[in-house]
Amino acid sequence: MIITKEKPLEEIYGYISDCKNVLFVGCDGCTQPPRGLKEAETLAKLVEMKAKMEGKEIRCRFTTVVKQCCETSVGNLRTEMEGCDAMVSLACGVGVQIMNKVYPEVCTYPAQDTKFIGAEEIRQGPMYEMCLACGECILHETGGICPVTRCAKGLLNGPCGGCVDGKCELPMEVNGELVKNDCAWYLIYHRLKELGRLDLFRKYRPPKKRSLAMNPRRL
């Protein structure tokens, strides 16, 4: 799933404070946490309220689509978007770009910062980055744990000297708190040991073909 984080209301309001009619468009696709109809409605109401407090009138409507990364799906909004002078997308960065492509006559602004491809341990729990879409998957060699993503340095021959008690020395800020992630290579070592495949841990891995992840990619 694509993990996103809502931008501050002030920032979103700043994009559209001069508009009269704004359509807030949710996405029922893979954006997490969910940013569908309910979230689009909440954001639309908040913006409308903020405008009122500032003595302005912005008419905020809301809707959602199955997935904003699909031009066909986004194309169904034609009737609903009529008359609006801006749209706000609650999807990931892909959705915002597709909205702008399909409806070039109005600007679609992002309501979310797109963070990473990840997973959640429990429903609506903390989310973790799991895949960098590097284009050269080696999970079959690393016990199903991705060092390219989950090692802060993306090492193929880890761990580095900064692995202490199984933790990465690099502190990460999560919701205002400093936490230390598990060292990916420490996890890989234990997983491969458990599988009786330390030969895979010992194996020297040559440098990655970075050209496979050269953007923008096409398939």
Partner 1 sequence: MGEAFSELMKKIKAGEFVYTGELEPHNLSTDISDVVEWAKTLKSIGKIVAANVTDNPQSFSAMTSLAASFIIQRDSGLEMIYQLRTADKNRLALASDILAASALGLRNILALTGDHTHMGNTPDAKPVFDLDSAQLVDLIHHMVYEGVDLAGNEVQGPRPQINIGVAGNPNQEPLEIEVLKMERKVEVGADFIQTQVVFDLDIALTYLDAIEHLNTPTLIGIFPPRSYGQAEFFDKFVSGVTVPPEFLEAFKKFKQISDKAERKKKIDEFNIEYFIDFIKEIKKKKNCAGCHIMAVGYPDVIAPIIEGVEK
Which positions lie near partner 1, rule CB under 8 A?
152-165, 169-170, 185-186, 189, 198, 201-204, 206-207, 210
Q: How many CB atoms lie within 10 A of CB 188?
A: 23
- Using alpha carbons only, give the angle 83, 49, 96 rounded to the nearest 5 degrees: 50
Q: How far is the CB of 160 from partner 1 (least distance, A)?
A: 5
Phi-psi region of 41 (alpha: psi -120 to 50; beta: other; left: phi over 0): alpha
CB of 45 closer than 8 Å to CB of 119: no
**To the nearest whole angstrom, how small is the minimum distance from the Cβ of residue 207 to partner 1?**
5
Element (DSSP H or E) covering residue 5: strand 2-6
Q: How far is CA 26 from the centre of its chain?
A: 15
Q: Which is nearer to partner 1, 12 or 163 (CB)?
A: 163
Least distance in Å: CB of 147 to partner 1?
A: 10
| Angle (nearest 5°) at CA 42 between 71 and 90 | 25
Of the pair 50, 167, the CB lying nearest partner 1 is at 167
Nearer to partner 1, 12 or 151 (CB): 151
Report the nearest approach of partner 1 to the CB of residue 206 (Å).
Answer: 7
Q: How far is the CB of 132 from partner 1 (least distance, A)?
A: 12
- Residue 79 CB neighbours (<10 A): 6
